[in-house]
Amino acid sequence: MKVLVDGQLIEYKDEGKGKVVVLLHGWGMNLGTYDALAADLSNKFRVVRLDFPGFGGSPKPDDSWGVGEYAQLTAGFLQKLKITNVSALIGHSFGGRVIIKGVSSGSLKSDKVVLMGSAGVKPKDAVRKQVFKMIAKTGKVATKLPGLKKLRPFLQEKLYAAAGSTDYLRAEKLQKIFVNTVNEDLLPNVSSVTQKTLMIWGETDDQTPVADAEKMKEKLKDASLIVVPDAGHFVYSDAYPLVIKELRKFL
């Protein structure tokens, strides 16, 4: 289904009946990443999920948005669907970032919050990563030289991986939005999230490490943290049976 929200065409799915649960996907993903969760949860809840602008079936925004614009868009989307009471906001990675921004600013409201491998803590080595990005851009130019064209994708991937910035490489037309997003430290905003919060993290998450979760938990008013062994950044996929069990209990 599609709906127009503040000039943005949004792809979404609305399934089940009952209290409303909203699923917000991570960077580079789309609403389809939650197919299994939605199928399970829609047995008892009304499950609403959308493609953020620039992902899946929702076109890229004309401007270089930041997290705030995505939070406002999500709030406008819920208003468009005439949803006034949200039982739980559930977000993975970038989706968690949007929840933190939206709840702390007051644009998003819910009874409960679930953060899975949520982004939002700015790495201490952000400056070093910016330098590496510059190196990666230099590498991009270098690979345009005769004889190196075929090696360009491989070298780009290696350079950005060294910078910890493969998401930046894969952002393509959303690179400015990606930079705006990762450069915003939302840790100060976390203390404004007063709802009961469930945090689920993969023990081997190398994109939003458990250390980030612990920093957030210290600032949250009412939070419990579950660290899942042998699971990575996509904890809801790596350990689906455990995640759905904990979600059912929490919701």
Neighbours of 170 (CB within 10 A): 14
Return the exposure string of 124-134: e unless at least 16 CB atoms fall within 10 Å of the residue's CB, then b: eeeeebeebbe
Q: Where are the domains of the chain?
A: 2-122+184-250, 126-177
| Percent helix, strand and coil across the chain, each to the nearest 5 | 45, 20, 35
Distance between CA 229 and CA 239 in Å, rounded?
9
C-alpha to C-alpha distances, 14 to 45, 51, 91, 185, nearest whole angstrom? 10, 12, 16, 32
- Residue with tokens 């209290």, as numbered in its chain: 19
- The predicted model scores a pTM of 0.84
- ∠161-129-174 over CA atoms, to 5°? 75
Helix boundaries (H) for 10-66 = 35-41
* Dihedral sign for Cα atoms in the order 240, 244, 245, 250: positive
- pLDDT score of 58 more than 90: yes
How confident is the model over 130-158, as pLDDT tens digits? 544 544 554 554 445 455 455 455 545 55
- pLDDT score of 2 more than 70: yes
Lowest mean pLDDT across 54-58, 174-178, 196-200: 174-178
Please check whether residue 118 is in contact with residue 93, taking contact to mean a CB–CB distance below 8 angstroms: yes
The whole-number pLDDT of residue 155 equals 47
**Residues 6 or more apart whose Cβ sits within 8 Å of residue 10:** 2, 3, 4, 50, 51, 53, 58, 73, 77
CATH 3.40.50.1820 fits 2-122+184-250, yes or no: yes
150 or 21: whose pLDDT is higher? 21
* Dihedral sign for Cα atoms in the order 155, 205, 118, 8: positive
Confidence tier at 248 by pLDDT (50, 70, 90):
very high
The whole-number pLDDT of residue 76 equals 98
How confident is the model over 207-235, as pLDDT tens digits? 899 999 999 999 999 999 999 999 999 99
The whole-number pLDDT of residue 101 equals 98
Side by side, the strands of the sheet bearing 88-92 are 2-5, 8-15, 46-50, 20-24, 88-92, 112-116, 196-202, 222-228
C-alpha to C-alpha distances, 44 to 161, 209, 241, nearest whole angstrom? 42, 32, 17
The whole-number pLDDT of residue 177 equals 87
Distance between CA 188 and CA 195 in Å, rounded?
16
- Mean pLDDT for 82-99 is 97
Lowest mean pLDDT across 28-42, 66-80, 129-143, 162-176: 129-143
Q: Please give the structure tokens belonging to residue 129.
A: 């990563």
How confident is the model over 165-179, as pLDDT tens digits? 445 445 557 878 888
160 or 8: whose pLDDT is higher? 8
Distance between CA 94 and CA 118 in Å, rounded?
7
- Mean pLDDT for 91-118 is 97
